[in-house]
Amino acid sequence: MRGSHIVAEAALRAGCRYYFGYPITPQNELPEYMSRRLPEVGGVFVQAESEIASINMVIGASMAGARVMTSSSSPGISLKQEGISYLGGLELPAVIVNMMRGGPGLGNIAPSQSDYFQATRGGGHGDYRTIVLAPASGQELCDLTYKAFDLADHYRTPVLILADGMMGQMMEPVRFPVLRDVGKLPRKPWAITGAKGRKSHFIRSLILDPGQMEEHNWKLMRKYEQIADAEVRFESFKTDDADLVIVAFGTAARIAKAAVKRARNEGLKVGLFRPITLWPFPKKPLQEVAKRVKHFFVFELNAGQMVEDVQLALSGQSDVFFYGRPGGVVPNPAEISRIVSRQFFQKEIG
């Protein structure tokens, strides 16, 4: 099944009944699928007049307590940032999919990972974070999308699925989880559902008093600390005996994994560390790996973004080398294993 379709079907099964979006390549298959499937299960699909309108529709549905989703690609996600900041400030759950493309500006439609900074630093204005999940296979697109709705509701926070054109277009076999009964999802006692017979609920991000606003910010920060403690995910592949570990996520991690296998065939002890949550970044697990490994090789489909988080986590204790291909160029595994071999030779590793 196609990656974009997988995300859509997984969302539906997780109980998503509202989708609002505006078309952009390379993720149009997602709204296309939703437009057909949502009405079948009594859901609502709206192709809005713009990205900005669609994210504000998401805010509305989320306030009313529904499971809701939007999706776009890099420039479209930039347009949605004001709304995403509001979701953060209002503490509203929502799932936002970014099938990244080459940028900046309008860029192209080829697979890229150049929105890492934007995604992991909140993206919009203000002190807030979004949980960022980076799937690297068809099955993960499904599982992480399904999980994203639970995380969003549990922490009352927007969750971003960060993938790219390749993940969205590629087909892989997938096993879907059960279709959830929307009526049996956990209740949301804070939702705005009509105040008849009860006290009114207020959901707002306009807090004029700096003291109260400060407390609201600290409350958000406490929540983010909880998330950082509980929700870190990563994959470690052949790192136990490795002399050099590649750090990569999403599409880049797939290429890197093939490069690891090639390098191992040549007798080079190479491993792969793949962050699945980009925020919270798997800092402690990476530090554990760094107790055994001195050399790290960060590979991204951008000009060097996650490498900053790797350096921050390893705080100068290890040797960190970066290799990136920005602009939508997707190198093959042979290119990466060549760079790995060069590193071994130059640094006299192993």
Partner 1 sequence: MLIKTIFAGFGGQGVLSMGYVLAYAAMVEGLQVTYLPSYGAEVRGGTANCTVAISNEEIASPIASAPDNVVVMNNPSLEKFQHQILTGGVMFINTNLVESRPVRGDIVLYEIPCNDLAHDLGSDQSANMVMLGGFIEKTGLVKMESVRSAIGDVFKEKKKAKEMNLKALDVGFDYMRNNGGKA
Full DSSP string of 38-77 = GGGGT-EEEE-SSHHHHHHHHHHHHHTT--EEEEE-HHHH
**Residue 335 within binding range of partner 1, rule CB under 8 A:** yes
**Residue 333 within binding range of partner 1, rule CB under 8 A:** yes
Considering the complex, what minimum distance in angstroms separates the CB of residue 325 from partner 1? Answer: 12
H-helix or E-strand spanning residue 94: strand 94-100
Opening angle at CA 11, ends 235 and 116, nearest 5? 45
Number of residues lying near partner 1 (CB under 8 A)? 24
Give Cβ neighbours of residue 129 (< 8 Å, ≥ 6 apart).
Answer: 88, 120, 121, 122, 157, 224, 227, 279
Among 24, 152, 246, 255, the residue binding partner 1 under the rule CB under 8 A is 255
**CA 32/CA 29 separation, integer angstroms:** 5
Considering the complex, what minimum distance in angstroms separates the CB of residue 268 from partner 1? Answer: 16
Considering the complex, what minimum distance in angstroms separates the CB of residue 165 from partner 1? Answer: 7
**CA 215/CA 222 separation, integer angstroms:** 10
**Residue 329 within binding range of partner 1, rule CB under 8 A:** no
Give Cβ neighbours of residue 275 (< 8 Å, ≥ 6 apart).
Answer: 134, 233, 234, 247, 249, 281, 282, 286, 306
Among 35, 47, 169, 341, the residue binding partner 1 under the rule CB under 8 A is 169
**Residue 106 within binding range of partner 1, rule CB under 8 A:** no
Among 154, 261, 264, 347, the residue binding partner 1 under the rule CB under 8 A is 261
Q: Token pair for residue 295?
A: 């050399």
**CA 276/CA 274 separation, integer angstroms:** 6
**CA 240/CA 92 separation, integer angstroms:** 40
Considering the complex, what minimum distance in angstroms separates the CB of residue 241 from partner 1? Answer: 19
Considering the complex, what minimum distance in angstroms separates the CB of residue 137 from partner 1? Answer: 9
> Looking only at residues 68 through 97 of this chain, which bind partner 1 when binding is defined by CB under 8 A?
none
**Residue 289 within binding range of partner 1, rule CB under 8 A:** no
Considering the complex, what minimum distance in angstroms separates the CB of residue 29 from partner 1? Answer: 10
H-helix or E-strand spanning residue 173: none
Considering the complex, what minimum distance in angstroms separates the CB of residue 289 from partner 1? Answer: 19
**Residue 172 within binding range of partner 1, rule CB under 8 A:** yes
Among 122, 165, 250, 280, the residue binding partner 1 under the rule CB under 8 A is 165
**CA 94/CA 7 separation, integer angstroms:** 14
* Selected range binding partner 1 among 16-24, 80-88, 167-175, 300-308, rule: CB under 8 A: 167-175
- List residues binding partner 1 (CB under 8 A): 25-26, 108-110, 165-166, 169-173, 254-255, 257-261, 330, 332-335
